[in-house]
Amino acid sequence: EAAVTQSPRNKVAVTGGKVTLSCNQTNNHNNMYWYRQDTGHGLRLIHYSYGAGSTEKGDIPDGYKASRPSQENFSLILELATPSQTSVYFCASGDAAGASAETLYFGSGTRLTVL
């Protein structure tokens, strides 16, 4: 079965600190995504990747960087965390079944609190 694992599950960070959220998928999917979920906004796309070595900006990339060192791993990096980045972050992999029609497989999320 498809599996996307995120770590940590919960994270408390201080303003100005560096935060790295990790995601690992065993689906062998080329596409991976980072979303944040906030009440009243649904999920919003931060960064995505087509494969190892590639990262692309999504709809709300400001304040975030991404890294895709391998097919399996996709990280989201907050170099200087701010309280506005307090949210729940979801990683997903996509099966690229006709690109626009692909099914996304989500991890269980990381709850980040920036104090």
Partner 1 sequence: AQSVTQPDARVTVSEGASLQLRCKYSYSATPYLFWYVQYPRQGLQLLLKYYSGDPVVQGVNGFEAEFSKSNSSFHLRKASVHWSDSAVYFCAVSMASSSFSKLVFGQGTSLSVVP
Binding mask of the shown chain, residues 42 to 71, with x at each position contacting partner 1 by CB under 8 A: xxxx--x-x-------x-------------
Number of H helices, E strands in the chain: 0, 11
Hey, which residues between 81 and 100 contact partner 1 (CB under 8 A)? 90, 92, 94, 96, 99-100
Nearest alpha carbon to residue 88 among 3, 4, 5, 10: 10
Q: CB of 7 within 8 A of CB of 109?
A: no
Helix H or strand E encompassing 11: strand 10-13
Binding residue for partner 1, selected from 24, 25, 31, 87, defined by CB under 8 A = 31
Q: CB of 18 within 8 A of CB of 10?
A: no
Q: Closer to partner 1 at the Cβ: 58 or 61? A: 58
Q: Which of these ranges, 11-19, 62-70, 76-84, 107-115, lies near partner 1 under the rule CB under 8 A?
A: 107-115
Two tokens, residue 14: 């201080």
Interface residue list for partner 1 (CB under 8 A): 4, 31, 33, 40-45, 48, 50, 58, 90, 92, 94, 96, 99-109
